[in-house]
Structure 1
Amino acid sequence: MDVDGVNILARGIAACGPEGVVFANLDLRVEPGELAVIAGPGGSGRTSLLLALSGRLRLVAGHLEVSGHVLPAQAAAVRQLIRPARLRPGCELEDRHRVREAITERRLISGASHEAVAGALALVGIDPDRAALVGDLHPADQLLLAVALTAAGTPSGILVDDVDAGLPLAARSRVWAALREVTRTGTTVLATATDPPSGDAAVIRLPANTLDRREGAR
């Protein structure tokens, strides 16, 4: 798997929700093949920023460019480049589906081959029982299954919301390691978390109101 990851440049971006401003005056840069983690407490706008950076939430101010595509005018093109593995609420694997059904559904959406799916599962280090219910898998395996099925379609970027939600420390470490493996294919991974990983991730902290709130970029 060899992917040309997206790059993202944002200057002074802002977004509003039903209750007012979600984030404002935010500058950031994400490089191709980078693990970028939007970190902050609940209600800080993590998921909203994830949606905005992928062309799924319209900004009210600022400049946002994704691999040469300027938003909002070219949001449709950006949505094709960056695909969600998990977005909460609304975009998650169905608990009542069996693993084989989840694989079939995602293959129909992405056009990925059986070989691509097998390679992506190996990449993130899981081999789930195809007859098992998705909801019966360990939460880390549920998340990594969603990541693998998205990565199998070789998008330029992948969205992974709430990476650390409900996971003990060891499981979190395993998921972050798997996401780093995905970035080694060239894919840009945009994730959210309450507690970001240490090491080579680029961390975008919310709330943020100064330039380039990034730590530990590779």
Structure 2
Amino acid sequence: MYVLGAGILAHGIAARGPEGVVFANLDLRVEPGSLTVVAGPSGSGRTSLLLALCGRLRIITGELDVDGFPLPRKAARVRKLIRPARLRPGCELEDRHRVREAITERRLISGTNKASIELGLELVGLDVDRSLLIGELPPEERLLLAVGLAAAPAPAGIVVDDVDAGLTQSGRARAWAALREVTGIGMTVIASTTDRPAGAANVVRLPAGRFAEPTAEIEMPGEAGR
């Protein structure tokens, strides 16, 4: 499997949620086939930024282009290019479903064939008992299942929320390694976390609190430790 990943370019973007502005005056650049990490504490707008980048939250100012498609005008097209693996709340696997039920549901929704599903799960290194409830899986395996299923239809990119939530140190290492495997086939990955993972090159740092500062710091490759 090889995918032509999506590139993303944003300048001065802002978005508003039910309680007001969630991020503003944000610039970022995402190269096709790269892993970009959105880092910040709870309430900093991480999920909202992921929603905006995959065409599911309308920006109120600025310019946002995903693979040549401007948002919000081409939001429907962008939603087909960038698929959510997990977005909290509202877009995550149901704990009460069995693994095989989640696989069947994803095949029906996305039109993905069985072979592609198997490739997606193999890509993230996941081999689990499919009779188990999703809620019975360890947290990292629930996350990897969501990522593998999202990657199976071979979209240009995926977004993954709260990568480090509930994971042990070894679970986090496994999750980030799997996301890097996904970029290895050319797919763009944008993932949110509270703490920057070791070795991350492209990091978008969001400030604490809902719109606590007018800008977010963008840390590009080669800038770490300066």
Shorter-normalised TM-score: what interval?
Answer: over 0.9
CA distance in 1, matches of 2:201, 2:146: 20
Q: Is the 8 A contact 2:3 2:155 kept in 1?
A: yes
Q: What is the aligned partner in structure 1 of residue 210 from structure 2?
A: none
In terms of mean alpha carbon deviation, does 17-26 or 98-107 score higher? 17-26
Q: Is the 8 A contact 2:206 2:217 kept in 1?
A: no
DSSP-derived class of the 1:79 partner: helix
Whichever residue aligns with residue 110 of structure 1, its letter is S
After superposition, give the CA deviation of every residue in 1:159-197 in whole Å (9 maximum; x if it has no partner).
100000111111001000000000001100111000121
Q: What is the aligned partner in structure 2 of residue 64 from structure 1?
A: 64
Q: What is the aligned partner in structure 1 of residue 123 from structure 2?
A: 123
Return structure 1 stretches of 4+ with deviation > 3 angstroms.
208-212
Q: After TM superposition, give the deviation of residue 33 of structure 1 in Å.
A: 0.5
After superposition, give the CA deviation of every residue in 1:66-97 in whole Å (9 maximum; x if it has no partner).
00000111011000100111110011111111
Gaps of 5+ in 2: 208-212
TM-score, length-scaled by structure 2: 0.92
DSSP-derived class of the 2:90 partner: coil
After superposition, give the CA deviation of every residue in 1:107-164 in whole Å (9 maximum; x if it has no partner).
1111222111111111111101011111100010001001001101101110100000
DSSP-derived class of the 1:104 partner: helix
Q: Is the 8 A contact 1:203 1:215 kept in 2?
A: yes
Q: What is the aligned partner in structure 2 of residue 88 from structure 1?
A: 88
Q: Which of 210, 214, 217 is the matching residue for 2:219?
A: 214
Alignment RMSD (CA, Å): 1.6
CA distance in 1, matches of 2:140, 2:127: 13
DSSP-derived class of the 1:118 partner: helix
Whichever residue aligns with residue 81 of structure 2, its letter is L
CA distance in 2, matches of 1:209, 1:141: 37
TM-score, length-scaled by structure 1: 0.96
Q: Is the 8 A contact 1:28 1:214 kept in 2?
A: no
Q: What is the aligned partner in structure 2 of residue 114 from structure 1?
A: 114
Q: What is the aligned partner in structure 2 of residue 45 from structure 1?
A: 45
Written as runs of structure 1 = structure 2, the 5 A alignment for 1:1-218 is 1-207=1-207, 209-210=214-215, 213-216=218-221
Q: How many residues align?
A: 218
In terms of mean alpha carbon deviation, does 126-135 or 112-121 score higher? 112-121
Q: Is the 8 A contact 1:117 1:149 kept in 2?
A: yes
Q: Is the 8 A contact 2:205 2:217 kept in 1?
A: no
CA distance in 2, matches of 1:97, 1:20: 35
Whichever residue aligns with residue 128 of structure 1, its letter is V
After superposition, give the CA deviation of every residue in 1:15-65 in whole Å (9 maximum; x if it has no partner).
112222211110000000011111001000000000111111111110000
CA distance in 1, matches of 2:214, 2:115: 45
Identity score, percent: 65
Whichever residue aligns with residue 3 of structure 2, its letter is V
